[in-house]
Amino acid sequence: MICDECGRPAAIRFVEMVNGEMRLMRLCNECASARGIGLSFAPLAGPLVSMLMGFLEEVGAEEPAEPQGPVCPGCGLSYKDFRRTGKLGCADCYTSFENELKLLIRRIHGSTRHTGGIPSKAPGDVESTREIRRLKLELEKAVRHEEYERAAEFRDRIRSIELMPHEEGDDGNT
């Protein structure tokens, strides 16, 4: 690990929030102490600071912690932190927060199932390819159920779509 400021070996990883975005910094001891990071209060003030710090720790321990929600075992990100930043920490977060993410996606999009859509600038082949795929599934289903007349209809519809010219200027040689 190399110091982000001077290029020497880094000893401290430091995370700070800047305009709502997390920023990870790796710093050597000198750059960290120049920023006031990683310093202990004990050498500065002695027993008074130690007593105050102990008092603050006791007070903090008595306050109930705010619920964090589920926590990802892969990266340690809590659901509360995800909600605050809007960013997941790793691939395991999708599994760890599965139920919460489904509710969130349903609230935003109205469904958790992708219904598709064809971009307006997409070539016409997209629709015909999708229709052929759907017809082939129906053909397989008809054959499985021994509905050979229906299967023949699906086969003929697939052939007619495959033989249609795709775009203007197409010479038919494929």
- Compute, in degrees rounded to 10, the torsion defined by CA atoms 50, 52, 53, 59: 150
3-state secondary structure of 95: helix
Return the percentage of the chain with pLDDT > 70, whole number: 69
Q: How many CB atoms lie within 10 A of CB 150?
A: 15
Average pLDDT over residues 37-60: 54
**In the chain, where are the structural domains located?**
1-39, 67-115, 125-163
Give the pLDDT of residue 103: 86
Q: Which candidate, 167, 135, 169, places its Cα nearest to that of 154?
A: 135
pLDDT tens for each residue of 135-151: 999 999 999 999 999 99
Q: pLDDT by residue (tens digit) across 103-124? A: 888 888 777 777 666 666 666 6
Most confident of the following: 69-78, 105-114, 123-132 = 69-78
pLDDT in tens, 153-167: 999 999 998 887 655
> Once rounded to an integer, what is the mean pLDDT over residues 40-66?
53
pLDDT at 125 over 90: no
Residue 58: pLDDT over 80: no
